[in-house]
Amino acid sequence: MKYINTIKQLLFIVILSINLQTRAADTTDFTNPLVSGFLHPPKAAKPSIYWLWLNGYVNRDYLESELKQFSEKGIGGLCIFDMGARGDTKAVPPPGPAFMSDEFVENIAYTLGLASKYNLDVQLAACSSWDLGGAWVQPHHASMGLYHTKIQVKGPVDYDEVLPFPELPLKTPKTPDGKPVFCKNVAILAMPEAKRQSAHEFIFKLPGTDTHYIDHAILYNAQSDNPNRYGEFHLFAKDFSVAVSTDSLEERHFREIIRDRLKPNTKPQRFNFKPVEARYVRLRIYNSYNTKFNMVQLAEFEVYDTNGHNIVASKEIDRTKDSALIVLSNSQRVSGEKWDADNLNDGQKSGPNGTWISAGLPPLVIKDRSEILDLTKRINTEGKLTWEVPPGQWTIIRFVCANTGEKLKVPSPNSDGLATDHFSHESTSVFIQYITNRLKQKLGDLKLTPLKQLYLPSYEVRGATWTPDFIEQFMKYCH
């Protein structure tokens, strides 16, 4: 009996619901702009979609069918996105034309004609994949870094020599004789050898917004790239310390938890301590076993939480997880992958792209800015410095701006090229002008086409730290 009553109750609820919906439909005011707009949304309210042209490949036999379906399903616009395909090469489209080549622009024009027919707005990603760049970007408009080299000179003496040129990333565009295609002397500075910092220092910001409990660290020394030169001790790190902070990067907030000595080998070396709470971890490398050279090398630095996870690991190890960030480093041989500080937590333990090397001794401590001498006007175009060195020991630093060699991230097979100098107004303007000129040559007045925007998805350039007129721009914004 209970079962029958339950069935009756359910039927009553269903009938009542249908009756209420019918009454609501009967009273709906379709002249209300809100109601009619919801049922038949205007174009501005319709979604726009990414439309990937994988490997730059386009099959015109299917274009009209695709655009028609987009329109019929309520899509208001699309973004043409040229990108390289990943995965099994047998399962991806074949290579298409280079981005912004004649054939590529022809495909754009054909697509815009169909977009007009089906009332679709169009965006065009301004490069193949992302970062802004392409095969037409010249080195003087490409991504730049600031590089330096140091020498020590004892005065008094008349110095009249070519200063050593900084070591550049392997992928920096170079001439057949090995010189950079583009470079510019930025500054030549001299400072007295009064006092140095005690160590090479690195501070890691741990992932997430909470603190972590850590209980051990593992460090790896590295075999040098030139054992014949450096000998049996290579550039092995020796004395080191680890400290933690739960608050900030300020010195007063750090508490030292390890001060120890590494063994002169490349085996993993573990150091345990009582579980401690940390938001930041500071590593200091004080010296090297090799006293013949002013450099020290380390392959990897790992810190583990109480769950056994390497909490200072970078994105290079696992891109699916939040990673630690190196928020401070005071010395590295080269900026931009080779021997730099980012190699300390990337999971690799050998080679120029997997280990860190210092730029020399720990940085100088300058108490008074007036102690720094600007010798930039004393260097000629060949890099020769002419200077009457005052008495005492001096460090001379040469700063040079040159290309990082950064290219596009995942371009279609025929579309790779240098990333632009994102700090440069001229570089960005020249790049956009190239795109619009190529389109106008085929399409005429772009305002009369469905092409509404150029689109740049993200900025992920690495090592871009400078632009040739950085100092001039800085001074302009300061005043």
Provide the pLDDT for residue 6: 57
pTM: 0.74
Provide the pLDDT for residue 204: 97
Give percent of the chain with pLDDT exceeding 70: 92
Q: What is the mean pLDDT of the chain?
A: 90
Residue 23: is its pLDDT beyond 70? no
pLDDT digits (tens, 9 = 90+) for 252-290: 999 999 999 999 999 999 999 999 999 999 999 999 999
Tokens of residue 280, six digits: 């930041």
CATH number of 200-357: 2.60.120
Provide the pLDDT for residue 315: 75
Cα 328 from Cα 330, distance rounded (Å) = 7
Backbone angles phi, psi at 470, to 5 degrees: -55, -50
Cα 304 from Cα 98, distance rounded (Å) = 46
- Domain segments of the chain as ranges: 2-39, 43-136+408-455, 145-195+365-402, 200-357
pLDDT digits (tens, 9 = 90+) for 410-460: 999 999 999 999 999 999 999 999 999 999 999 999 999 999 999 998 888
Closest CA to 379 of 161, 85, 218, 77: 161
Closest CA to 121 of 440, 456, 446, 435: 446
pLDDT digits (tens, 9 = 90+) for 111-167: 999 999 999 999 999 999 988 999 999 999 999 999 989 899 999 999 999 999 998
Pairing of strands 212-220, 418-419: unpaired
Determine which helix (DSSP H) or strand (DSSP E) holds 245, and give its type and residue range.
Answer: strand 239-245
Provide the pLDDT for residue 2: 47
Contact call for residues 132 and 422 (beta carbons, < 8 A): yes
Angle at 104 between CA 102 and CA 105, to 5 degrees: 65
